[in-house]
Structure 1
């Protein structure tokens, strides 16, 4: 006999992540992995044994080349994301990342109770969960963008002294601001560990929220669509640009 209290939510298919956002996300993930691997090698190179002369190996040269190439991609990809925060849909807008309202802080507290305290969400907390990034994730991404800026400044600041191109030389003032190359390199290295820690927590929470909410969190960064409860979609309709054009 069917449970008369069983409630099956009606889901609406909502286009959340635009193609430029998804492209930025995966390109950023790739170049950060390259930057971390090559950065570790540059800071503490391995003692590679070979019968060939060291001048013929060019191992450090290749690692530096990959590091600098990935850095340029990272930098311009970051600039593109800054631009898209103003011209993209509401889920990519900067209002999703900066606490500007009381509702933002309420949602951060609700997410904290679900993610950190592992409390079961109720209807009241459900009202504070967004369709796109939840408030806690949005605020952490905002801190991540600041870390992106620090990483770009320190990285190009260190590179300015050995580059002949005008772009890195625009950052020649950075080491002096941080007190010299040594401290600038240390800040650059510490920022790398921030990204490593962020990546571990980010991957865990994506899988966790996909399990808890069942909205297609993982697949949404591939196809752009999430599956939102109909009643939640109606309550948060102000978040969705042109909701009448979204397929049910």
Structure 2
């Protein structure tokens, strides 16, 4: 591997010495990568089961519900995946506190940084095919960081809170879910409104998933660094050794 200098636009202090002489950098630690794939599986399960909870499949209508229990299994899968999502999210917050610089990116947006917004605008132009060549980034590029914050940090957080509030209704008063999240039902005034907000939140996440998969594959092909393999191995590999 060529050992010429490379440059990137989100270099953490601990990466400065490394990036000056290597074209491969260890970016995402094992807990971050594990969370990414477990979180993806949980979200996919939640979206599929959540859709069928809101729009039961025709199999619900061919016999007595207690004899089939299809929707019961769907609801169980939804609740189980919800617990996985919530526990995983708490674990991800913990790792943001103890992990490296890149583990914290999705939890904040440097709103006061003019350089950050300039890089966001550049990335928008790149995704719209208005920029000739992409830039190098060690972690998330600024636009990806912005999207992760709003769609995952805030979006998943919203779905966890509203989901457990709906779960609290079935668990009833005196249960831990009701003690922790029951206040939200009273705050939005009725559970139908809460169901609607939770359902809209699902489509918010679905839109992000579609765009995220497209962008990951596109950038793996067109960008100057690895994308998909990085979330498997943890290493960001650059395709060229030119200073940016």
**TM-score of the aligned structures, taking structure 1 as reference length:** 0.81
Separation of aligned partners in 2, 1:138 and 1:66: 30
Match of 1:5 in 2: none
Shift of 1:95: 7.6
Q: What is the rounded CA distance, in whole Å, between the counterparts of 1:162 and 1:174 in structure 2?
A: 14
Counterpart residue number, 2:15: none
CA positional deviation for 1:136: 0.4
Q: For residue 153 of structure 1, report the CA deviation from its aligned partner.
A: 1.4
The answer to whether 1:33 aligns with 2:44 is yes
- Which consecutive residues of structure 2, in runs of 5 or more, have no partner in the other structure? 1-5, 7-20
Mapped to 1, the partners of 2:41 and 2:106 lie a distance apart of 26
Deviations 1:114-171 (A, max 9, x none): 01244212xxx73xx4211000000110002111121111111111021164135410
In structure 2, the residue matched to 1:137 is 144
Q: Is 1:157–2:169 an aligned residue pair?
A: no
CA 1:96–1:183: 2 relative to 1, 3 Å? closer
Provide the rounded CA distance (Å) in 2 between the counterparts of 1:116 and 1:169.
Answer: 47
Deviates more, 1:167-176 or 1:130-139: 167-176
Question: Gaps spanning 5+ residues in structure 1: where?
Answer: 1-8, 236-248
8 Å contact 2:125–2:131 — kept in the other structure?
Answer: yes
What does the per-residue CA deviation read over 1:201-239, in whole Å, with 9 as the maximum and x for residues that have no partner? 00111111111224221111111111135455xx8xxxx
* Cα 1:54–1:13 shift into 2, 3 Å: same
CA gap 1:155/1:38 in 2 versus in 1, 3 angstroms: same
Q: For the structure 1 residues 182 and 53, does the alpha-carbon distance in structure 2 shift closer, same or farther, using more than 3 Å as the test?
A: closer
Aligned length: 220
Kindly report the root-mean-square deviation, in angstroms, between the aligned alpha carbons of the 2 structures.
Answer: 2.3
Q: Match of 2:3?
A: none
SS of the aligned residue for 2:109 comes to: coil
Report which of the two structures shows the higher radius of gyration computed on alpha carbons: 1
Comparing 81-90 and 49-58, the one that deviates more: 49-58
Q: Which residue of 2 aligns with 1:47?
A: 58
Aligned to 1:241: none
Per the alignment, do residues 187 and 51 of structure 1 end up closer, same or farther by CA in structure 2, a change over 3 Å counting?
closer
After superposition, residues 1-248 of structure 1 pair within 5 angstroms as: 12-48=23-59, 53-94=64-105, 97-100=108-111, 101-121=113-133, 126=135, 129-144=136-151, 145-163=153-171, 165-228=175-238, 229-230=240-241, 232=243
SS in 2 for 1:22: helix
What are the superposed Cα offsets for residues 70-92 of structure 1, whole Å, 9 maximum, x if unpaired?
Answer: 10110111111122222111111
Deviation at 1:94, TM superposition (A): 3.9
Alignment CA distance shift 1:190-1:78 (3 Å): same
- Output the CA distance in 1 between the equivalents of 2:126 and 2:207: 20
In structure 2, C-alpha distance between the alignment counterparts of 1:49 and 1:75, rounded to whole Å: 29
State the secondary structure of the residue aligned to 1:17: coil
Give TM-score, length-normalised by structure 2. 0.82
Q: Is the 8 A contact 2:60 2:70 kept in 1?
A: no
Distance 1:223 1:204, change over 3 A: same
